[in-house]
Amino acid sequence: MEAVSYTAQWTAAARALETERGARAIFEDPFARALAAPRGFELLEKNQGSGLTPFIAIRTRYLDESIAQILADDGIRQIVFVAAGMDTRPFRLTWPDDATVYEVDFPALLAEKHRRLAELGAQPRVNRQEVAVDLRREWLPELEQAGFDPGRPTLWIVEGLLFFLTPEQATDLLRSLGSASAPGSWLGVDFVSQALLRSPFSREFRRSLEQDGTPWLFGTDEPEEYLASVGWKARDVKEPGEPSTAHEDWQFQVQPRERRGPSRSWLVRAEFVGG
């Protein structure tokens, strides 16, 4: 999990590159370049041609819009970013005045992020609480100590994390979030497909990840069924490249759902239903 923290830098690097496309950018993150050092751009360059950079841009926009829609439609005011990494949404999005955002990640990562943002003079646009924990252990008690109320509906954002976990760890995490979710809670999450984890198409990319100590371990070809098995009802499932997730640099064709192509991945909004 500590090695996965380096992937927070490649996410920041990809967001910086998208921001610097100017008028063509599908979102803006003015802090991203400063948060990408020291390895973010190196990791992107190493995996050039994998589709990683436009995928991160598409995923970022999808979750930005999901956050805005869920908060507007459901009145949720408690938001938790699990393995928040170098994400800067509390500093760049518009939030309700009475919202609270909890950013959960390793202490060293949050400390470095705090230092860099302070040097930029960045100010959060929402009540923001850092929750510095060891994500490999039980961390919900520390979240509650920071002010989180499991009796209130929550929006959980789990971005760019599940594919680094074993299937058992991914399932345990989503069930754990469910155990702390009141009725009306939501989840924003992304998956890769099992087909991608097996495909010769992605072999070099996966080998590169393994060499960096961050192998992709978990995927699902049936995100709706998988989420239902852990207490979440998928309400919106998109594949990068669909009209609502378009990006001019996305090079992979969207295929019918009955075909499991090697580049398939999923962007999902899900509602907590229990079970």
Please give the Cα distance from 108 to 205 (Å, whole number). Answer: 28
* Integer-rounded Cα radius of gyration of the chain: 17
Lowest mean pLDDT among 22-36, 84-98, 142-156, 203-217: 203-217
Write the pLDDT tens digit of every residue in 66-75.
Answer: 999 999 999 9
pLDDT of residue 1: 46
- For residues 272 and 232, the answer to whether their CB atoms sit within 8 Å is yes
Please give the Cα distance from 191 to 47 (Å, whole number). Answer: 19
| Helical packing angle, 52-74 and 7-19, nearest 10° | 90
SS3 state at 181: coil
- For residues 3 and 165, the answer to whether their CB atoms sit within 8 Å is no
Residue 196: pLDDT band (50, 70, 90) is: confident
Which tokens sit at 104?
């959960």
Global pTM value? 0.94
- For residues 91 and 123, the answer to whether their CB atoms sit within 8 Å is yes
Residue 263: pLDDT band (50, 70, 90) is: low
